[in-house]
Amino acid sequence: MAASASPSPPSSPAAEGIINVFWDDGMLNHDTGKGVFDTGIDPGFLEVLEKHPENADRIKNMVSILKRGPISPYISWHSGIPAHIPQLLSFHTPDYINELVEADKAGGKMVCDGTVLNPGSWGAALLAVGTTLSAMKHVLDGHGKIAYALVRPPGHHAQPTMADGYCFLNNAGLAVQLALNSGCGKVVVIDIDVHYGNGTAEGFYRSNKVLTISLHMNHGSWGPSHPQNGTVDELGEGEGFGYNLNIPLPNGTGDRGYVHAMTELVVPAIQKFEPNMIVLVVGQDSSAFDPNGRQCLTMDGYREMGRIVRSLADRYSGGRLLIVQEGGYHVTYSAYCLHATLEDGG
């Protein structure tokens, strides 16, 4: 489908069931401000400052397209609830959580480059975690097969001990830990955000119960908050050796390249692992128009990856699938790519 095309009506996979979308307006209270791109800095010589890429507008359009778009009849909406501090400690260290709590009490701070905790941000972060956990619990309890946690702030860069890349708390990582604690023997995470899902990988780097797979732009480390390179030789450690699969892709890989990577690398890895729960970590910043990525994916590519993941869930996890929102910074096209993913992924 051309990049400018409209969303398609749901094909048979989507029509066979309901997508349970978990969302709460309170996550809009995370105000990332304005400046030069993601710095929050006004240099004093520009007439027009831009919104931080991770702003509320992007998520409003995602909510809107799911409420008004062609698959809206197949969506069931659910509210989220804030997470409690003890729940965060299944993935994050107490010292790190205390650091965030104190920063919130002090009125906020720039936690790391591009990642600012402003008044309202901590409450939104707790709500993002709680909403994701609610989505996972919905699936684990058998109330629905497919749940989508439409959340912000994003989370997949947040490591057990530090924030990174617009992320404070690792929403997907905490949901994976909930699945493990609830009796799931093996969980796979498939991360298609344009950036390496380093925080999730770090959290399970020594575990053989979680297979973390990340398809990402070959960007390498971007500093102290993101020491991981996302290269093929980062395979895990100890019992987790061989359970971290990094698939760094060259700029401009596009639809055919991503689908090839999915069919030739991701599918065989999952066939060997045989998970009983699948988590799709989705970012639309791999799209052709995204300001934070250069991967040239279109709606067609997202639609096909959604189809592949849905078929994997049907085969290995009894259809159980949790989808967790991450990046995606083109305010309009990100929403279209999300819709495309869910057309066959739901």
The answer to whether residue 156 is catalytic is no
Rounded to whole angstroms, the Cα distance separating 212 from 191 reads 8
pLDDT at 12: 35
pLDDT tens by residue, 20-67: 999 999 999 999 999 999 999 999 999 999 999 999 999 999 999 999
Instruction: Show the tokens assigned to 54.
Output: 């991770």
Q: Is the separation of the CB atoms in 203 and 160 below 8 Å?
A: yes
pLDDT tens by residue, 104-128: 999 999 999 999 999 999 999 999 9
Quickly list DSSP for 265-322: IIHHHHHHH--SEEEEEE-GGGBTT-TT----B-HHHHHHHHHHHHHHHHHHSTT-EE
User: For residue 14, what pLDDT band results from cuts at 50, 70 and 90?
Assistant: very low
Quickly list DSSP for 323-341: EEE-----TTHHHHHHHHH
Rounded to whole angstroms, the Cα distance separating 163 from 43 reads 25
342 CB-near residues (< 8 Å, 6+ apart): 14, 19, 66, 71, 148, 306, 323
Q: Quick one: what percent of the chain has pLDDT higher than 70?
A: 95
Rounded to whole angstroms, the Cα distance separating 174 from 132 reads 8
Work out whether strand 277-282 and strand 187-191 pair parallel, antiparallel, or are unpaired. Answer: parallel
Q: Is the separation of the CB atoms in 112 and 154 below 8 Å?
A: no
Residue type for 5, please? A
Among the listed residues 92, 156, 157, 339, the single catalytic one is 157
Residue 248 main-chain phi, psi, to 5 deg: -75, 130
User: For residue 6, what pLDDT band results from cuts at 50, 70 and 90?
Assistant: low
Residue 224 has pLDDT above 50, yes or no: yes
Residue 185 has pLDDT above 60, yes or no: yes
Average pLDDT score over residue span 277-305: 97
Is the torsion defined by CA of 295, 300, 302, 307 positive or negative? Answer: negative
pLDDT at 343: 94
Rounded to whole angstroms, the Cα distance separating 298 from 173 reads 27
pLDDT at 7: 74
pLDDT tens by residue, 303-313: 999 999 999 99
pTM equals 0.95
Output the furthest CA–CA distance in the chain (Å, rounded).
57
Average pLDDT score over residue span 246-258: 98
Rounded to whole angstroms, the Cα distance separating 346 from 342 reads 5
**Among 281, 279, 284, which residue's Cα sits nearest to residue 62?**
284
47-81 CB burial, b ≥16 within 10 A, e <16: eeeebbbbbbebbebbbebbeebebeebbeebebe
Residue 260 has pLDDT above 80, yes or no: yes
